[in-house]
Structure 1
Amino acid sequence: MDDTAPPRRGALIDLSPLTASAPFARLWGSRAVAGIGSQLTLVAVGLNVFALVRPSEGAAAATFAVSLTGVLALVPTVLAGLYGGMLADAFDRRTVALVSGVVSWLSTVVLAALAWTGAESVWSLYLLTVLTATATTVLQASESAATPRLLPRELLPAAGALNGIAVGVSVTLGPGLAGVLVATTGFAWCYTIDAVLFVATLVALLTLPRLPPEGAADRPGLASLAGGVDFLKRAPNIRTSFFVDIVAMTFGQPRVLYPAVGAVTLGGGAITVGLLSAAFAIGALLSSLFSGRLGGVRRQGVAIERAIQVYGACIALFGAVLAVAAIGEWTRVLPSPAGPVWIAIAAVLLAGAGGADNVSAIFRGTMLQTAAPDSMRGRLQGVFIVVVTGGPRVGDLWAGLLATTGLLFLPPLLGGVLIVGLVTLLVRRGFRDYDALRPTP
């Protein structure tokens, strides 16, 4: 390959990874199918908690209660990511993924059983959400660490874009379907469908080849964790990619606001919640569909910086839409709630945020998988998953706390501005000079 210029590529997504590796193709397909169910449960749990709390405590307190579904899972998710990554480096990654997948599936089955019997409570929803998040974190760390063993290095950006398609499909269909199901049939069907669809993941994991550690493996424990931390100290590019994502996910996650936005500010109830959630995913899906040229980008650090800045701008503008709707209501210039036109504008901005976030994720994942040695991939993928899943939970708390002021527009408006500013300050020249053809951690 000519290392002076990237290869010419078409605009549409590169499907080569699906034909290059049958195990990867099965795993990818299962992510799309099972992801729809996961999104059903994610949206349904938030609406379920909101419905249980709002009648007695009001919309602001219910929004804060929804934010706790993520916040309570934060510490278990961090521990699961760190320990799960050590497990993925020490044992067969297929086995680690399969065991954690079974635990995640069983927790969803219990959630469905409680809903069908009418026995769910706010605390049972919290507990099962924590268990599912913990198991899923270990599963994702193991699957991600396995991907470079299933594909050649030059196909990893394309694999990242394909994973964006899988996420985009699941997050596009799942939230919208959840809104319809909750509005028409209740919560139990959402949880049941999730349990059924997750079987696809179990089948894909069962058919993976064995993926034992390459060479000597560190036993899970403090020494293994210290080894991962020591490597990160010597890996400024990977470390920076973690930092900028933490900023984006902490200050740019307005999802806990959606129930209140649908009920109070924009209107539409559960349908609006599903639409706003789906809009973010549609943006991610479109950016993956037209990701063909991303595989030829060499300055991936610059691409990450620009993508997150666009993300922050879109989130800030979403907050501005909510502010205009709220001010219009207070001054009686706009109807209350604002209505379909403002819902559409908000959805377009969230789609832009979803597309930018997906581009950032593709390059961050590629940087990690190509620059890190195989013996460290499990632990670093564990940290990566902690950032990706833990950051939004801190973001849920940020949005939930600010929402208690009654100013629903404040978390995204202020958060988006902070993202643009902080990312600009955090990124240094070395990260901007990162060369995909000569990857260095």
Structure 2
Amino acid sequence: MLISLLRRAAIDLTPLRTSRDYRLVFSAAGISSFGSFITYVTLPYQVYQLTGDPLLVGLIGVCELVPLLVMAFVGGALADYLDRRLLVLGGEIGFTVLCGVLLVNSLGHQPQLWLLYLVAALTAALDGLQRPAMEGLTPRIVAPDQIPAASALNSLRMQLAQLGGPGLAGILIATVDLAWVYAFDLATFAVSLVCLALVRAVPPPPAADRPSLRSVVTGLRYARSRPELLGTYLVDINAMFFGMPQALYPFMAEKLGGPSVLGLLYAAPAVGSMVATLGSGWTARVHRHGLMVVLAAGAWGLAILVVGLVDSLWLVLLFLALAGAADMVSGLFRMIIWNQTIPDHLRGRLAGIEMLSYSTGPLLGQLRSGLAARWIGVNGSIVSGGVLCVVGTVALAALLPAFVRYDGRSGLARKQAEDAAWAASAADRAPTGGADRAPTGGADRAPA
């Protein structure tokens, strides 16, 4: 009986076994994310090292927010019109160049603070271009019934990177020059670029909408018309805006043990997330997806509140891990809602909106936590954020009853009907939707 229960709860590896392209994308994104999380920890630490000011560390989020707000819409529109694989590959090349800039800057006698902010902004812009295409790849390279399993695997991939990357970053920061830390990230891009180059072309849907302001507005109107989508966006923004304390990690580490503790603080939520992901087999049998997002967001806020109340390193790490587990449960159900219910011809644009929802909250949350820490201290900032996260989650649940009642089975049926209707009318739209489109450079790639 116990073995049977464990098998039912264990993560489903079917997409990795059945899809060659998914294996390549999984590998590329995994190794790239591992290196990027090293830089994700190192860049704010370098700002902290140069300034010692929590507000200036939090301002990294502001630098990232503005280009992200613009480029997520552009990236979403392009992902519905061009070969998504090429967009992902192009973004990866851009990230490689920016990592090289950080390496060169760190080698200088006096690293330039403004350059760190500039690279953060450009990285966010590239992420806005690449991420919608990456998110839009999943429904195209795995079967519809494998979406929950692929969502869990994507989360596991991210958590492995989030766990290993910051942990290694903490060790490297404490033992070697920052230039070597950036050099390690740069080396990981060589592997990801090879894997992405081997992925077969992923052409756009038939009669795809040309990138334009009108196409972006179409995506926004569709998102607004779906209360279950609005719920995923608003609940997560609320949770991350009030309950994201990452900008304070360098200051927490100073009180809890020094730079070597920094990597543990970043890695602790990933430990909880990984545990939740490895035991995610049960998610395929739960259909009240909206309710699960609400419950998980409330649990995240409660765990963050406790983080601000305790002063023991191990208790801080424990509750950060519990927060990470709650956030992962929320993320899994949000990804299932997005990938199982959004029609393919809108997937890129909606992925851009999704990216804003799960990116703006943490970025603005860094600024909020930094400002609050100036006024009421580090612990006060964390506690108040946890309280407001819980209050906001309860309020949103009351305002969005359709989201709380949402059943995933009806969402999947709706997607299948919308995809069929789009395919049936594609021939009529093709002459104006894409006949004059320039080649994407990958549509005629021979299968490997």
TM-score for the superposition, normalised by structure 1: 0.89
What does 1:5-44 correspond to in 2, within 5 Å? 10-44=8-42
CA distance, structure 1, for counterparts of residue 223 and residue 127 of structure 2: 24
Q: Does the aligned pair in 1 maintain the 2:231–2:290 contact within 8 Å?
A: no
Q: Which residue of 2 aligns with 1:95?
A: 86
Distance 2:101 2:6 in 1: 50
- Residue 300 (structure 1) aligned with residue 289 (structure 2): yes
CA 1:111–1:8 in structure 2 vs 1: closer, same or farther (change >3 Å)? closer
Structure 1 residue 274: deviation in Å? 0.8
Distance in structure 2 (CA, Å) of the matches to 1:199 and 1:300 = 38
Q: 1:251 to 1:196 in 2, by over 3 A?
A: same
Task: Spell out, residue by residue over 1:131-159, the C-alpha distance to the aligned partner (whole angstroms, 9 max, x if none).
Answer: 11221232221011111010111111111
Cα-to-partner distance string for 1:63-106 (whole Å, 9 max, x where unaligned): 11111112111010111111100000111111111112211111
Amino acid at match of 2:11: I
Report the count of equivalent residues. 407
Matched position secondary structure for 1:258: helix
Structure 2 counterpart of 1:142: 133
Gaps in structure 1 of 5+ consecutive residues: 1-6, 55-61, 326-341
Q: What stretches of structure 2 of length at least 5 have no aligned partner?
A: 416-448
Is contact 1:302–1:432 with CA below 8 Å preserved after alignment? yes
Contact kept? 1:73, 1:129, Cα under 8 Å? yes
**Alignment deviations for residues 367-420 of structure 1 (CA, whole Å, 9 cap, x no partner):** 011111101110010111112122111000100101112511122211111111
Which residue of the partner structure matches residue 46 of structure 2?
48
1:35-434 matches, cutoff 5 A = 35-54=33-52, 62-263=53-254, 266-321=255-310, 325=311, 342-405=312-375, 407-427=377-397, 428-434=400-406
For normalisation by structure 2, the TM-score amounts to 0.88
- Contact conserved, 1:37 with 1:174, CA < 8 A, in 2? yes
How far apart are the structure 2 equivalents of 1:187 and 1:406? 32
- The runs of at least 4 aligned residues of structure 1 exceeding 6 Å deviation read none
Q: Is the 8 A contact 2:28 2:196 kept in 1?
A: no
What SS class does the counterpart of residue 235 from structure 2 fall into?
helix
Asked if structure 2 preserves the Cα contact closer than 8 Å seen for 1:262 and 1:272, the reply is yes
| Contact kept? 2:271, 2:321, Cα under 8 Å | yes
Of Structure 1 and Structure 2, the greater helix share is in: 2
RMSD of the alignment, in Å? Answer: 1.6
Counterpart-to-counterpart distance in 2, 1:204 and 1:227? 33
| 1:13–1:290 contact (8 Å) kept in structure 2 | yes
Paired residue secondary structure (1:241): helix
Q: Which moved more, 1:423-432 or 1:296-305?
A: 423-432
Identity among equivalent pairs (%): 34
Letter of the 2:145 partner, please give it: E
CA distance in 2, matches of 1:48, 1:411: 22
What is the alpha-carbon distance in structure 1 between the residues aligned to residue 250 and residue 352 of structure 2? 31
Aligned AA for 1:374?
A: D
